[in-house]
């Protein structure tokens, strides 16, 4: 679908406002491993979730233009934490949710992840949206569906962001986009459009910035 036909395509104004929002110097605010450490939500929040290695850190770094702001998934110790990023005068805080779906994760770790994330989701009145990152080469996996179940239960709005689209052909991106939208069509809290991105090529980053600006200005 071209942008001209896409009712969800951002306007020029939103693209510009998104660009300005992310021209600020974004910095790391805090990491939280247990819910009693959660900072007060002083601003609107948007969060990022996805399987480990989906490209979440790369996407946050691309959005903010700060290399190394979000660490890569294999940084020990940070993986089970919620990481918060903010910028001066920004109306929105970014929340990096812990990656999930490690092949060898013991059940106790999965349970701890679920509890941390679900309690966070339920208690965060100013959380506007969770961006659910899906690797465009792999599409939605069962473990992603489990996270969507949590989001549906917590009634937190979520939107699919396809990552690494530079790794596959445009036709394959369209196929995975259509298939993904079909799979979420009956999910109550899912947003009915997705954003295609490549952090390597900066594709779709402007659209995601515009979307975050729009969410922050409700
Ligand atoms: P995380 O575990 O979800 O935080 O994933 P990372 O951001 O650490 O990325 C995992 C791997 O995918 C790294 O080797 C990245 O360089 C690579 N990667 C991330 N985004 C892209 C992208 O847009 N294009 C390509 N080609 N590789 C990417």
Q: Which of 55, 67, 98, 162 to mutate to test the pocket of ligand 1 (most atoms within 8 A of CB)?
A: 55
Ligand 1 neighbourhood includes 198 CB (under 6 angstroms) = yes
pLDDT, tens digit (0-9, with 9 covering 90-100), for 158-202: 999 999 999 999 999 999 999 999 999 999 999 999 999 999 999
The model carries a pTM of 0.95
Ligand 1 neighbourhood includes 73 CB (under 6 angstroms) = yes
Beta-carbon neighbour count of residue 117 at 10 Å?
22
- The rounded distance, in Å, linking the Cα atoms of 124 and 133 is 20
Pairing state between β 44-50 and 127-135: parallel
Concatenate the DSSP letters of all residues of the chain into one string. --TTT-TTSPPHHHHHHHHHHTTS--EEEEEESSGGGPPP--SEEEEEEEBTTSSHHHHHHHHHT-TTSSPPTT-TTTTTSEEEEE-TT-SEEEEEPPPB--TT--HHHHHHHHHHHHHHHHH-TTEEEEEEEEETTT---HHHHHHHHHHHHHT--EEEEEE-GGGS-HHHHHHHHHHHHHHHTT-TTB-S--EE-BTTTTBTHHHHHHHHHHHHT-
pLDDT, tens digit (0-9, with 9 covering 90-100), for 130-144: 999 999 999 999 999
pLDDT, tens digit (0-9, with 9 covering 90-100), for 31-90: 988 888 888 888 999 999 999 999 999 999 999 999 999 975 555 444 578 999 999 999
Average pLDDT, whole number, for the chain? 92
Taking Cα atoms as reference points, which of 100, 98, 90, 112 lies closest to residue 45? 90
Which domains, ranges and CATH numbers included, belong to the chain?
3-216 (3.40.50.300)
Q: Which of 48, 51, 58 to mutate to test the pocket of ligand 1 (most atoms within 8 A of CB)?
A: 58
pLDDT, tens digit (0-9, with 9 covering 90-100), for 73-113: 555 444 578 999 999 999 999 999 988 887 777 888 888 88
What six digits make up the tokens of 119?
């309690």
Closest C-alpha residue for ligand 1 atom 19: 55
Closest C-alpha residue for ligand 1 atom 18: 55
Ligand 1 neighbourhood includes 58 CB (under 6 angstroms) = yes
């Amino acid at each position: 679908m071209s942008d001209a036909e896409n009712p969800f395509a951002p306007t020029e104004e939103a693209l510009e406002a998104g660009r300005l929002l992310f021209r600020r110097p974004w910095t790391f605010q805090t990491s939280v491993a247990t819910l009693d450490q959660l900072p007060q939500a002083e601003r609107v929040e948007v969060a990022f979730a996805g399987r480990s290695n989906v490209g979440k850190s790369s996407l946050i770094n691309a959005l903010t233009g700060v290399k190394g702001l979000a660490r890569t998934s294999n940084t020990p110790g940070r993986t089970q934490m919620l990481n918060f990023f903010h910028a001066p005068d920004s109306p929105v805080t970014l929340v990096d949710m812990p990656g999930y779906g490690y092949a060898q994760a013991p059940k106790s770790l999965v349970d701890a992840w679920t509890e941390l994330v679900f309690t966070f989701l339920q208690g965060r009145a100013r959380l506007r949206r969770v961006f659910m990152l899906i690797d465009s080469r792999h599409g939605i996996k069962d473990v992603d569906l489990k996270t969507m179940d949590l989001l549906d239960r917590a009634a937190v709005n979520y939107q699919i962001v396809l990552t690494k689209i530079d790794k596959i052909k445009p036709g394959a991106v369209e196929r995975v986009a259509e298939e993904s939208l079909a799979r979420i069509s009956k999910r109550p809290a899912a947003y009915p459009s997705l954003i295609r991105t490549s952090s390597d090529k900066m594709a779709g980053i402007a659209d995601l910035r515009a979307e975050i600006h729009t969410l922050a200005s409700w």
